[in-house]
Structure 1
Amino acid sequence: MEPNVLLESLIEESGVSRAGLAGHVNRAGRSRGLSLRYEHTAVSRWLKGQRPRGQVPDLICEVLGGRLGRPVGLDDIGMGASAASGGTDTGSGSGSLSGFVERATALWRSDEQRRPDLAAVPAVTGTSAVMPVWEWENPPEDTDVSRPGPGRVSPADIAMLKAARDHYEQMYRKTGGIATRSRIVRFLNAEAAPLLRGGHSDALGRSLHRATAGLVA
């Protein structure tokens, strides 16, 4: 099993503890006539990659979506069809773009935490790796990348990301990749990730994605 960094990211973003999530899932289950007795240990297993049975994944989406104030689907928590089959969604559309952003921000956090369990996860290569990055930096013209969210992204935020890219590019030339990489990861977590989850229009969202892609590249 691979660690479920998507679920971990949403749990952290929602501000709920593992025990708290288990309790909320139990209560949500009762509203559907289910008798569930999950504890924090069950959530730990989910984070290690175990997929709970029956309606529980849907209940997790319901609980996290309610806390975050936005729809949360099975793919968002790492329990969708692509996760179950070990595949990667490379289709076009806002869903795949949004999913890639969620995965990227989750991996930035795990990278900064230097989690040893991720070292064994095989890297994504080939088309599955290239296409989402291309779509992130160049969203299709017929795709609406606007997003509701806490706070609003402003043009000043985009300018800040572009200035950061110039700064880290100069740092890379002077000190090399080892010293620069950890600083970029911290910046992505502290500054870029909250903006990607913030509210923005379609036009501003496109600029945001391009500016962030410049940092990642």
Structure 2
Amino acid sequence: MAKGEANEGLARLVAEADVTLAQLATAINRAGVEARVTVKCDKSNVSHWLAGTNPRPKTQALIVEALSRRLGRQVTHGEAGFPAPKEAPKGRSTLEELTDLGRQGMDLSRRGVLGAGLYSVALSVPGWQDVLGRLEALHSGRAGRIGLAEVELVSQMTEKISELDDQFGGRHARPMAGAFMVNTVTGYLRADGSEEAQKAMRSAAADLCYLTGYMAVDEGLHGLAQKYYVKALELAGAADDHLTYCTTLRGMSVQAVDLGHGADALRLAEAAAAASPKAGPRMFAFLRGQQAHAAAQDGDKSAALRYMREAEAAMDRAESRGKPLGSYDPSSLNYHTAQVRYELGDVHGSIDAMKESNKLRFSVYRRNDVRMRSILAERQLQVGHLEEAVKTWHEALDHYPLVHSGRADERIANMRSLIRPHLRHQGAADLFERSETMKPGTV
């Protein structure tokens, strides 16, 4: 498109999407909030772009994503009348891409840049047959030979990082995972070893990628999280590891539903369930609970209730709590019950289920405790129970100083906004004053 000429490509897409200029501006702003990109767009901006003014590159990416979401398909920059973005060099291997992701995570000064990684609803997710047993041949840079001892090292380190994440949030734990990925794991993935050891190492690396993606979600780095999740899928397929493949797809569904993309969340949750035909009762509940939440957000009440009944029945069949699969336990099941009820309009029922979830949650999950108590308090306030909400928020604040989590920060900031209109109430005023001493970066 020549400078000053009307952008016919963008105009066609706006017409196809059947949106007003104001609606498109709102969708672009929402995508910017998710990506932590500062953009304040209104219908006059859209009008200028249609007339031929080129938005900044970061805004172009938001426009393309907003239109992709509206149309339910991938929109390209060229289709929207924008120059193609700079692409990564072609022919890069999974390990090269994984090393770059790890290095980015190690560089704390780039966190603001990474925040611009935009969540994509049109992300191409590799299917099980696409990744099964496939990983690029690694002929150069081999780092000795590995055995099951090295696999155990990676597994134990991943577990320790996960424990730190549960207790303190992902803000400090994720850079540790990135450093371990670059300095140790990628070398092991290049090393010689028996077929058993190499497959087990790929499986362990997939677990670490999944965890690192989950921690990126916790920081609000959603585009970065998607990249880690895709690497986890690729490595899980190369290891013939159905469990990690399904768990990762479910994690991607959780990310989507938390961002409000119900249709995308349901697609990913159903893909996870389809890829796990031999799931035991706990795994079955793990998958069905997420399908229920996604279906409820997508507006399919009958499917949501059916999935929820199936999840509850599967948990009843699970022999014992033991070591929860992916942290899925009765507390998690009650959380899904709460979310399904809330999405379907039953706020009071959601509060009851959330209370039960909080009661059953293991104490090691401190970060989730802050988030879940904050969600409960928001809903208590929504139904007019101010004093109960204040009490619940105080319980969330008890653990908040020890948690370094973007999602926890957002919940506490939301609490200050919600409680501000009630400051004439002494309890609300005390809560607000206490929270003011706990702003992110000051505790």
TM-score bucket of the superposed structures, by smaller chain: 0.3 to 0.5
- Give the TM-score normalised by structure 1: 0.44
- Give the TM-score normalised by structure 2: 0.24
Greater helix proportion: 2
Bigger RCO (CA 8 Å, 6+ sep): 1
